[in-house]
Amino acid sequence: MTRTMPSADQSLYSGLIRLHILHHACHQPIFGLGMIEELGRHGYRLSPGTLYPIMHALEKKGLLRSKEHRVGGKIRRVYSATPRGRKALNAGKERVRELFGELFED
């Protein structure tokens, strides 16, 4: 199922996108195109011009670190979570659990 989000709603999901990026970066090194595809599987349609500034901002905050790797003659920037990023993800998970609990109370 693909969810297409109206542009006005995209700002509501920006934190979820950041958490999603951190989640994957905690499990294995990630790269931009791979994350665009992964987020696309969850209905988020991001362009490189949207995703890369998010990843750069996460790196600037110390949540991700990047290294350049040569892949088939091309240079690819690969990101991994830092200890601070792992801690931020764990805190984010707790807040998401609390929020989801409230959102889905009956």
* 4-12 contact pairs (CB < 8 A, 24+): 4/43, 4/45, 5/43, 5/44, 5/45
The yes-or-no verdict on residue 92 having pLDDT over 70 is yes
> What is the rounded average pLDDT for all residues in the chain?
89
The per-residue pLDDT for 71 is 83
The per-residue pLDDT for 2 is 41
Q: How far apart are CA 106 and CA 47, in angstroms?
A: 37
DSSP state of 63: S
For the chain, domains (ranges, CATH) are 14-103 (1.10.10.10)
Report pLDDT digits (tens) over 76-90.
999 999 999 999 999
The tokens describing 1, both together, are 């199922």
